[in-house]
Amino acid sequence: MANAHLTSLNARHASLEKSVAMETRRPLPDQARLAELKRKKLRLKEEIGRSDAHA
């Protein structure tokens, strides 16, 4: 079960990474959206680290 949760977190992190890359490539990136995406990505990375440490 923990492995499925970790896989899900990693998939969400990858999705956010893709969203950040897409927003960055726009002619006029929305800085507020970029900041929010990066905050979400960081929170997920921290949660992945905690989950991985407990697995």
**Over 90: is that where the pLDDT of 8 sits?**
yes
Q: Which residue has the tokens 């960081």?
A: 42
User: In 1-55, which residue ranges form alpha helices assigned H by DSSP?
Assistant: 2-25, 31-54
Range of the domain at 11: 2-54
Q: Which residue has the tokens 């991985």?
A: 52
The total of other beta-carbon atoms located within 10 Å of residue 15's CB is 13
pTM: 0.86
What total of structural domains would you count in the chain?
A: 1
The C-alpha atoms of residue 1 and residue 5 are separated, in whole angstroms, by 6
Confidence of residue 55 (pLDDT cuts 50, 70, 90): low
Note the pLDDT of residue 15.
98
The C-alpha atoms of residue 2 and residue 34 are separated, in whole angstroms, by 30
The C-alpha atoms of residue 20 and residue 40 are separated, in whole angstroms, by 11
